Structure 1
Amino acid sequence: MLIVHKLDRFSRDKYDSAKYKRKLKLNGVTENLDSSPESVILESLLKGMAEYYSKNLAREIMKGMKETAYQCKHTGGLPPIGYAVDPVTRKYIINEEERGIVETVFSMFLAGHGYNQIIRELTEQGYTSRYGKPISKTLGTILRNEKYTGTYIFNLTDSKDAAGKRNGNRHKNSEDVIRVEGGMPQLVTKADFQKAQEKMHQNKRQPGAYKAKEMYLLSGLIVCGECLKNVGIQYAMMGNTKYSGRSKLKYVTYRCGNRDRTKACKNPELRREYIEAYVLAQLQEKIFNDEAIPLLAKQLNEYQKSKETHVKADQQRLNKSLEGVERQIDNIVNAVAGGLNNPTILGKLSSLEQQKIELETKLLEAQQVKEKAAITEDALRQAFWLSGPHHQPQSS
């Protein structure tokens, strides 16, 4: 038997109520109301009032939350990684201990690193989620979060559907979304955020690059000339592996992506070692030559200086964290010297000492990055020589 003191405790949705009442009846659970026509009306009226109360309450709560949102204040829940909430103003502020996560994710992703490489780098830097776990599934959420550009956003995702399920990827109409430019501290430039969105969209269109068992240097970079000439469409040349002959020799080639779809393309497949060696030779002859080396060295050194600026920001963040840890250690030491001897406090002191060692190690590593030697023209020439086609492995 199921006992509720009011009908609205059973359900505030008439569809749910009908569904669960039928389940109860099938299992022999009886109703307290009699079977008269008046009881049917009374029950329907009570359920309707309960549902009205629930939906009206939700509407009033949303009114208050929208007023809070127009003031760019926190409306509840956990703030995004990289942000904290000011306890006085209830507005978002930068979390200095986490801002490095956001900056590392965006800078590495835009530099061409994959998710696994970014996760390893974050782990090596000692970053974890707020629950102490490695940062992994949240990378996509970070890269898609427009709030990092300084735009306050509220009421973006859609509410539950008719089945009661919520989908965070389903967005509301733009007129229902509250956006306030400059309503949050900026962690990522709008240009970098837009580049990240374009790169993620491009990666969706080329998922095979992350699953291929062979490395194709020219994947997505060369197109089929036959299709371009005949039908005016640029079909990409895709990597392909096949085995032929009795000995099952492996042939790795590039082939037109239109061949399998329409069977109309007659362009023959290109052996990978031939086309890649040709392109590398052309690059070395026309780009990595004596005239271009000084310019490349200059650009690489400028890029290294920009990385040093990023490292400088990390150093400032680490120094602030170190100062905070040292201040806590001093407070505990003074308390112990004053006669306070608590096992919990002593355990906290041990944890803080470990944090201090880790922060000092990271500061030392950052200093080593800043002191990295400049890239010379001779070093570039040697690198291009070793990676040139005359050093590529010969095909069997």
Structure 2
Amino acid sequence: MSPATTARPRVAIYARQSEDVDQGIVQQLDDCRAEAARRSWRVVAEFRDNDTGASKARGPKTDWYKMLGEFDAGTFDLLLVTETSRLTRSLTDVLDVCPPRRDVRVVVIREGIDTDVDDFMLKQLVLLAEREVKIKAARAARYAAERRKEGHPGAGKTPHGYRWVSAPDRGPANTRYVVDETEASDVRKIFTEFLVGASLGQIARDLNGAGSSTRKGARWRSDNVRRILMNPFYAALLPPAQPSGKHSLAQIDLGACTPGAWEAIVEVEQLIAARGRLVGVKPNHNGTARRWLLSGLATCSVCSEPVRSARGETHPTARRDGTGTAPSQRYHTYRCVNGHFMRNGDVIDDYVAALCVARLSEADAAALLVPETNGADISALHNRREALRASRKNVFSLIDDDPARLADAEDRLNDLEDQLRTLDEEITRVTSRSPFADLVGVEDVRAWWESATLARRRAVVDFLMSVSICPIGKGRRLAGWEQVKETVQVKPKV
């Protein structure tokens, strides 16, 4: 026996589990502490790896890595664990604690192992565990392939807008996702607002302003909105598997997606149009989020620069009865960046809103809202896209049968990719050409306007008219819309 066996050893405890549940770690630590107390061993360090797999590499951020460093520094002599599987399921890790690399004395409580006496059983159990891991991985891969053929997603984080259905509650179709209508309304709003021109930041601001939040209860941010717009799951498309740790929504090829066995929240055309505006574009998580109707849209009549929103403040004079001044108040204004004016914005917003509602209420509004598509039929475009995807799939099938045909098929594949890319651009163009189709047939346009998001109202203004604000002189107040009309120039676009 080594001196460490006869002397009172300095003990380090190691606890690990794959799931993020504190209870399992606590139980392992308690059992090891009790064993150390029973043997009158002194515990000098404890290491815990929660939510850490035993068959995968454990890097510098794990307590396993820290534990090896502490042993090298001479902090402890003996490593105490409850079971071999808590230590590792990989022979590579065992070699990290065994000679010649290191000579760590490992004691396993439940299996009665002490490597200072014999390390054969420890290595044998780890080899068996490693073999079981490989068998399970092969079984899981086969199950995943079969599941994918049926259009079912794997277990994991369920997208916002859906609810995961556990196995006992699945119907005959074995569907894993069902639509959560409360969350799905957020998803539909995100796609609708984005396709009428709202920025990511503006959509996030509007969602937060409406009292909506992410599933975790957090405020919406532009990166949350971007991920939803990029995700094929919302059009009931199952993307191909990506390498572990390298998941990227931007790298997903929609042509390689397969139909999912769940209900879509948005149309495929909406997904294509949204991704067409985002893929290949550097994310701008600080996208401009407007708070007022005309900021950045209206221009100054003098210099033609876009106006900005600002906050004005009243400066009341003293009351005639000598009781002092009225409280100062802050109000919304528009200002020229070159200093030509700073005007009360509320009355201008109300005036422009009234013009928009009046124009949308006219008899020819429907024709304006849904322009001619020049013969482009979205369903026909979609059918054409499916035919191109089928052709590409057939080419890949030929290559699988005879890899020598790859060179001959390369030109054909490139041609199909070009056609698909052109078709997706056409779908994006046609989809974006009718951004206000949901307004057609609305009887109470004023009610629609009041319930619309700021992004949607701004899109309507930009679609219908150009607005130019004139200086009115310092201290002048406008009493009504007739006076506003004289100082706000509106030119119809349609």
- Shorter chain as denominator, the TM-score bin is 0.3 to 0.5
Choose between structure 1 and 2 for higher RCO, CA contacts under 8 A separated by at least 6 residues: 2
TM-score normalised by the chain length of structure 1: 0.47
User: Could you say which structure has the higher strand fraction?
Assistant: 2
**Higher Cα radius of gyration:** 2
User: Could you say which structure has the higher helix fraction?
Assistant: 1
